[in-house]
Amino acid sequence: MYDLLILNATLVNEGHLTKADVAVEGQRIAAIAPDLSSAPAKQVIDATGLHLMPGMIDDQVHFREPGLTHKGDIATESAAAVAGGITTYMEMPNVDPLTINAQALEDKYQRAAGRSRANFAFYLGASNDNLEEIKNLDPQAACGVKVFMGASTGNMLVDNPETLEAIFEHAPILVATHCEDTPMIAANEEAAREKYGEDVPFSEHPKIRSEEACWKSSSYAVGLAKKHNTRLHVLHITTAKELELFEPGALKGKRITAEACVHHLWFSEEDYERLGAQIKCNPAVKRKEDRDGILQALTEGRIDIIATDHAPHTWEEKQGSYFKAPAGLPLVQHALPSLFDHYHAGRLSLQTLVQKACHNPAEAFEVKDRGYLREGYFADLVLVDLQATTEVTKESILYKCGWSPFEGHTFNSRIVTTLVNGGFAWHDGELGQNIHGQRITFNR
């Protein structure tokens, strides 16, 4: 007797669209077959007309715990994540205290246990003086080592060249970098301050956090990785120019991979006038040509992974002038819907979408038994209706910060059901009654 049967869905998986039935037993996928309709099951979903895919694995979120929980916390932001079809997230170390040692990492796993609706893993943060922590890191204790090679929210800049060399040489697991050249940005900020005073228009953000600043830092990271054969993952690429640093093609075998985030695939320079601080983020939203170049790089394979960089700040904090308003925007609830809009517009195939948002994060981080629709894998599943719509209203927003840069937009899809480890995390517009998120493990 299966716990759940999902009948008649179109599966999007491993490069194919296939009509099939899926059976779930306990936390795992028990069977995938053309017709399971006569198998006994406790519960049956008729998914005729719906698409079934693995849940999104978001390799870059900021859930603000501990220390910054007025902006968001693990319970609130993971609820928004499952409503958006994200079943696993990897969370960043720029919290308070910083996640820069084994003890701080374990504290986060304990906080998430029993409170996170989605599965979770945490990054160990690098600093200018925690090399020993990095060298001694247990490969099961973190998804990756995060290195801020450019300063952003939180005081985590690593700018000592010897330290960077040593991190790239000795990190025992994947190194994920934020790449922007801080001295260049500081000079641009100074020039903007001279020109505008405190009231710098938000449209200056991509000129201050410039293409050159991204290029200088990304090419530095790629150079270091080539020198030391580091497993490098460059986060949130924002310029078409940086794409030449990355190889096209499949992820398998690559030592250097790159990520794009949903807001950089959606917004462009033209949106600063309407949205101002709401789309101020680091690295900055840049030109239309950059956005379109990055979208194309998904299909070419120069960009391997799509993530969110979900980074909530309160509405009040965002009301500050240019230098005061913090960088970052909340995204997890609408990441997949935004990608399905790209699909409807002919910019992204469903197969590529699932590869970049589900399969490749599992491959890049060596996640065990997740990221695919496969018998024996965890039942982290999303049913999506590509014919229905999702209107982004204030009332429907689950983030603690209570706002979204997409407010007023109607997406051409609806996340109908999200299963996490076989449990209903989201169904028909409601959060599940139980918490199903687990600490993920790695094939390493």
Residue reference for tokens 């990304």: 218
Smallest separation, CB 62 to ligand DOR (Å): 4
Q: What are phi and psi of 410, to 5 degrees?
A: -115, 115
Smallest separation, CB 345 to ligand DOR (Å): 26
The closest of 42, 29, 36 to 1, measured between CA atoms, is: 42
Pick the stretch among 75-83, 217-225, 324-332, 368-376 that binds ligand DOR (CB under 6 A). 324-332
Among 56, 222, 234, 311, binds ligand DOR (CB under 6 A): 311
Count residues contacting ligand DOR (CB under 6 A)?
11
Question: Which one, 95 or 121, has the nearer CB to ligand DOR?
Answer: 95
CA dihedral 315→208→342→355, nearest 10 degrees, is -100
Residue 438 within binding range of ligand DOR, rule CB under 6 A: no
168: which residues sit within 8 A by CB, 6+ positions away?
Answer: 175, 224, 225, 227, 228, 230, 232
Distance CA 159, CA 228 (A): 18
Pick the stretch among 33-41, 225-233, 326-334, 388-396 that binds ligand DOR (CB under 6 A). 326-334
Smallest separation, CB 196 to ligand DOR (Å): 21
Residue 328 within binding range of ligand DOR, rule CB under 6 A: yes
Smallest separation, CB 310 to ligand DOR (Å): 9
Smallest separation, CB 280 to ligand DOR (Å): 7
Residue 285 within binding range of ligand DOR, rule CB under 6 A: no
Q: Which of residues 352-411 bind ligand DOR (CB under 6 A)?
A: none
Pick the stretch among 220-228, 320-328, 334-342, 412-420 that binds ligand DOR (CB under 6 A). 320-328
Residue 178 within binding range of ligand DOR, rule CB under 6 A: yes
The closest of 199, 235, 200 to 218, measured between CA atoms, is: 235
Q: How far does Cα 131 stand from its chain's mean position?
A: 26
Extract the runs of DSSP E, i.e. beta strands, from 173-235.
175-178, 232-234
Q: Which of residues 139-158 bind ligand DOR (CB under 6 A)?
A: 152-153
Helix spans in 98-180 (H):
102-112, 131-135, 161-170
- Cross-strand bridge partners of residue 306: 260
Q: What are phi and psi of 317, to 5 degrees?
A: -60, -35
Among 2, 10, 27, 62, binds ligand DOR (CB under 6 A): 62
Pick the stretch among 137-145, 242-250, 325-333, 342-350 that binds ligand DOR (CB under 6 A). 325-333
Report residue 14 as tokens: 């491993």
Q: Tell me the residue type at 419.
A: L
Burial class (CB in 10 A: 0-12, 13-18, 19+), 314: middle
- In angstroms, how far apart are the furthest CA atoms of the chain? 73
Smallest separation, CB 325 to ligand DOR (Å): 11
Question: Which one, 326 or 437, has the nearer CB to ligand DOR?
Answer: 326
The closest of 161, 160, 162, 130 to 145, measured between CA atoms, is: 130
Question: Which one, 3 or 159, has the nearer CB to ligand DOR?
Answer: 159
Residue ranges binding ligand DOR (CB under 6 A):
62, 94, 152-153, 178, 281-282, 311, 326-328
